[in-house]
Structure 1
Amino acid sequence: MNDGRRRTLRFGHHHCNSTTLECHDIKSMIVEDSIMSTIDAISQACASKNWETEAAIMHTIQAKRSFSKRDVTMVAQFSVNRLGRFESARAVWAGPITVVIFLATHEDIIELQHYFEEPGKLALYDTITLTIVKPKYSLRTHLRYPINHLRNVGIQTASTDYIYVIDADFVPTSKLYDFASTKLVPLLEKADPPAAFVIPCVAIKVEYPGKYPDTIKELEPLMKSGMAYITDPRAGHGPTFTSLFMARTVFENAPFYEVCYESQWEPYYIVNRNAFHPYYDERFKNQGGDKQSHALLLNALGYKFLVLRDHFMYHMDHPKIKWTGDGLDQVGQRDYTYFVHYLPEMQKIFGSSLRWPRGCSRPLVQSFQRDLQGIGTM
């Protein structure tokens, strides 16, 4: 600046045109890259609603704290209606976090702005790398929530070698981060075959009035009373929980136990970031096949699946998910499906046996265990 003073140019401001400030002979510049300045710029873009010049915007605000590459990053993606819910997960994860927020409508940027104007909300994101994604609404692609694309954005902005992808409704146990960063990282570094450490997940009924469980000991009575239950106990998460409660006495001293891959399984896991080469398949939108497809890929690559015994993640029971835009109202009109499209493609690459548990140490024994799950006790 010709007056020798430093100025701040916010994101989205490409030139100086104020009557009180002329920009010429610039000697130094501070570029303000903050959440609120980013929101302000996107807000202006959304307010114009000029379909001819509208552009997609994706902007990342880096965390103010750096972490070691040998750390574990928690990755989450969600729309603005999940901002409050994610606070519980953020509160128990002391390590690196990357968050991707999808603006499903023009009005979402207003809600996002109001959220961060509340006292203390900006401070919650000081150590979080945040990416805000505004699609090009005129293309109408935003009517299908791009869940796997957003997950991939979060993974790509993570700076560590180990990744834990969750959904915004889930809350991990408070000691999971410490266990993962100190115990699991060394194991993942030398795992041969490669391993995925699975985090069991449960649902808590909305009418439950007590303290949410943070340990297996606290969880067990809720399971027995029916206040907590297995999240999708069939193919979705059944393989995880059969061993969690059937085999506790057998593996009492082990911090984790092995389970075999089963078709349509969709576990949450902590892995080396190499597990995301290739990334989640972005052709999956909304719900259905998004996580299943990646677990199938890891199995085809020979990954071993190890379930943690003393840690889990929970979420509050909720009615049927209402996705952004048209979402799942267009039942049967998905552009890309797991069985019709993805599975045949994978069979061409990995062979017809790709759903056989390739990395499992004792697949026949594990299958027999699942068949006898009725004899288990908690």
Structure 2
Amino acid sequence: MLQLNEEDPCYEFRRARVNSLRTHLYFLDYEYEPSADGYDVTLVAQLSMDRLQMVEALCKHWEALPRTYKPHIVYADAEAQQFLSYALGSEVLSTRKNIGYHVVYKEGNFYPVNFLRNVGLQQVNTPYVFLTDIDFLPMFGLYPYLKKSIQVLNLDSSKKALVVPAFETQRYRITFPKTKAELLNMLDMGTLFTFRYHVWTKGHAPTNYGKWRTATTPYKVQWEPDFEPYIVVRKDIPEYDTRFVGFGWNKVSHIMELEAQGFEFVVLPNGFIVHMPHAPSFDIAKFRSSSQYRKCLKILKNEFVKDLGKRYSKVFDMECSESHLFKKNIFVKSIYDFLKSSF
């Protein structure tokens, strides 16, 4: 059992890890019929109520048969009634019975991001999961493409994580690319960018976007420190480490554990997701403004790497990079605000 010390400068972070959060599973009616082919995949995402409008957009993009839709959406907020009114008043959401909504009632000062992800992961009843975030819209047709890729790449009998390349736009209104060719054209025009290219290249650099542009078959990539792709995997993977709350290292740590377990990372050549712009979260604002926040994140990161090394008898050479991210975020925020005001 984790022993807490109130004199610890990172006490609030450590306490957040052991908080018992009240959870309401399947907040609305849920129905699901297993796919006969055995390759079905569930999209898992989490959000706070300020991202509520993304749920409807996501459901329009993640198309599937009415009874095999299966996103699992996890909310972190006490405003459950607000969500209920929104869902029942939506033409898209009110007719869907195959979306699992789970409500987690937040306590404390930090967004319990990995706790939420674990709630969604624990409720999945398909063999495979697509682990993403709510601010990403999948390309149209991604669901059947992932099912086919799962079958062709034999995910049932191998330790593979399929990487879905991530992109972003800084415009609130765009014509969403329907094909890879359209996406590449938008990249060349500067309407889209590779995800976090201006802020944090390490997070997705191993995806090798240069190779992806011309790739027609899946290709393996090597794990590197700070890699945090969005992936399709079997549902029996390790859960997320709940010591990471708020902003920073919540996905990186999960991918790092998959690397420690010997997973291969395979990039899909014809799939993509696009991140839509939004105001910075409260937690990233705290990260940018608080040196203590960044110091505690560094401590938690080092403790995690040490713990992971012991569990898997591996040595990870990790360099500290939070300050680099902090400096670039300040610069990029000014660029982002300028671009936002231009459209």
- TM-score by length of structure 2 reads 0.75
Give percent identity, aligned residues only: 27
Query: Which structure is richer in relative contact order (CA contacts within 8 A, separation 6 or more)?
Result: 2
Task: Give the one of 219, 223, 227 matched to 2:183.
Answer: 219
**Aligned partners of 2:42 and 2:160: how far apart in 1?**
17
User: What is the rounded CA distance, in whole Å, between the counterparts of 1:273 and 1:72 in structure 2?
Assistant: 9
Report the counterpart of residue 99 of structure 1 in structure 2.
Answer: 73
Match of 1:237 in 2: 204
**Aligned counterparts, 1:224-373, within 5 A:** 224-233=188-197, 234-240=201-207, 242=208, 244-246=209-211, 248-249=213-214, 251-252=215-216, 254=217, 256-275=218-237, 278-323=238-283, 330=290, 332-333=292-293, 337=298, 339-354=301-316
CA RMSD of aligned residues (A): 2.8
In 1, the alpha carbon distance for the partners of 2:195 and 2:40 equals 28
C-alpha change, 1:246 and 1:70, in structure 2 (3 Å) is: closer
Change in 2 beyond 3 A, CA 1:72/1:84: same
Tell me the CA shift for residue 328 of structure 1: 6.6
Contact 2:155 2:233 in 1 (8 A): no
**2:163 aligned residue:** 198
One-letter code aligned to 1:78: L
Which of 85, 101, 104 is residue 54 of structure 2 equivalent to?
85
Higher-helix-fraction structure: 2
After superposition, residues 55-70 of structure 1 pair within 5 angstroms as 56-61=22-27, 63-68=30-35, 70=39
Deviation per CA, 1:117-163: give whole Å up to 9, x if none.
Answer: 4242542542101111124x4xxx2x200111100100111101101
> CA separation in 2, counterparts of 1:173 and 1:198?
14
Deviation at 1:336, TM superposition (A): 5.1
1:131 is matched with which residue: 96, 99, 102?
A: 102
Indicate if the aligned counterparts of 1:144 and 1:327 stay in contact, CA closer than 8 A. Answer: no
CA distance in 2 between counterparts of 1:85 and 1:206 reads 15
The secondary structure found in structure 2 opposite 1:270 is strand
What residue in structure 1 maps to residue 41 of structure 2? 72
In 2, Cα distance between equivalents of 1:212 and 1:72: 23
Whole-Å separation in 2 of the counterparts to 1:111 and 1:206 = 27
Q: TM-score, normalised by structure 1?
A: 0.68
Using a 3 Å threshold, how does the CA distance of structure 1 residues 57 and 329 change in structure 2: closer, same or farther?
farther
Residue 197 to residue 345, structure 1, CA distance change in 2 (3 Å): same
Residue of 178, 184, 187 corresponding to 2:144:
178
User: Per-residue deviation at 1:210?
Assistant: 4.1
Q: 1:348 and 1:213 mapped to 2: Cα distance?
A: 45
Unpaired runs of 5+ residues, structure 1, are 1-54, 357-378
Q: Distance in 1 between matches of 2:190 and 2:285?
A: 34
Aligned residues of 1:72 and 1:161 also touching (Cα < 8 A) = yes
Between stretches 226-235 and 279-288, larger displacement belongs to: 226-235
Gaps of 5+ in 2: 1-20, 319-343
